[in-house]
Amino acid sequence: MGSPRDEVFTTVAVVNGEIEFLDLHLKRLKEHANRLDFEINIPDFQKFEDGLVRITFSGTWNFEHRPFPVYKPKIRAIYGEAPEFEYKVMGTKHGQWKPYRDAKLQANSEGAEVCLLVKNGLVIDADRASPILLDAQGIAWASDEKNGSVRSVTFEALIELFSQNGIPIQFGNITKKMIERCQELIVVGTGIRVATISHIHEQRIGSGTFRMFEICHDFLEVR
C-alpha cells in the first residue's frame, strides 16, 4: 500500500463538455496538495467527454474517465469505521484511498449503497460523499473539517442555495443520536450527486421530508 503523500486527486463531473465547479475543485486541489507537501502547477485541462474524470497528480498528471453511474434518489447506508491518518492528511484527497473504496464495497456487500464513516463516535464522512443532516429545528448540519472530513465541492457549491431557501448551515459534530432524530439525511458529492438516506442498517431515517434533497436535486438537475 502506498503512502498518502504519493498523490493528490479530485474527481470532477463533466456536463455538456464543461467541468462542473472547476474553480472550486482547483481551489481544493491546491489546498490539499499544500497539506500533502506537493508543489503543483495546474495545467490547461483537455476537453473531456461527459462523465466522471479523476484528476490525479503524482509527479505527473493523470486523467481517468468513466461514465456517469446510475444515480439513485433514495439509498440505504451502513456505519463503518473511518480510516486513521495523520492530522494533516485527514480530510484530503490523497494517495491511500483504498480504505474508502473498501468501505463502499462493504456497504454493497450488506445491500447498501454508501458507508457512513465514524470516528470517536462522530459521523465525519461517507465513502465518496458528504452527509448533511436536517435537525428538528430546520438547521442543516455538516461535519466540521477539524474532525477529518473531506470538504465536498458539491456541497460548497450548494451552500448559498441552502441559505436562500431559509436553511441555516452549521458545521460541527454529527452523532448517531442526531441522525436517529433528524428530519432528513442526505449525501452529496461528485460521484453520487445527491441522495436521501432512507435506512441505516435496518433503521428508518428521517421524518419523510425531502426539503434538502429537492433543493439540491433541482439545482444539480438543470446543470
Q: Sorting pLDDT into bands at 50, 70 and 90, what band is 39?
A: confident
Mean residue pLDDT of the chain comes to 94
Measured N-to-C along each axis, helices 211-221 and 153-164 cross at an angle, to the nearest 10 degrees, of: 110
| Alpha-carbon Rg for the chain in angstroms | 17
Query: What contacts 170, CB < 8 A, 6 or more positions away?
Result: 139, 140, 141, 142
- Please check the confidence at residue 46 and state whether its pLDDT lies above 80: no
* Architecture in CATH of 74-221: Alpha-Beta Barrel (3.20)
Cα–Cα dist 22/223, whole Å: 13
Closest CA to 1 of 97, 115, 85: 97
Encoded amino acid at 137, one letter: Q
- CA distances in angstroms from 34 to 18, 75, 85, 143, 210, listed in the order given: 26, 35, 16, 22, 38
Q: Say which CATH topology domain 4-66 has.
A: D-amino Acid Aminotransferase; Chain A, domain 1 (3.30.470)
Number of helices and strands (H, E) in the chain? 5, 13
Matching CATH topology for 4-66 and 74-221? no
- Answer whether residue 213 shows pLDDT above 60: yes
For 135-187, what is each residue's pLDDT tens digit? Answer: 999 999 999 999 999 999 999 999 999 999 999 999 999 999 999 999 999 99
* 127, three cell numbers: 465513502
The residue written with cell numbers 503524482 in the block is: 58
d(CA 70, CA 183): 26
pLDDT at 24: 96
Helix ranges (H only) for 94-174 are 98-109, 153-164
Please give the share of the chain, as a percent, with pLDDT higher than 90: 92
Give the residue from 124, 130, 146 showing the smallest Cα distance to 197.
Answer: 130
Please answer whether residues 12 and 27 qualify as being in contact, where contact means their C-beta atoms are separated by less than 8 angstroms. Answer: no
Q: Where are the beta strands (DSSP E) in 108-217?
A: 114-119, 122-126, 130-134, 140-143, 169-172, 184-189, 193-200, 203-204
Residue 1: pLDDT band by 50, 70, 90 thresholds? low
Domain residue spans of the chain: 4-66, 74-221
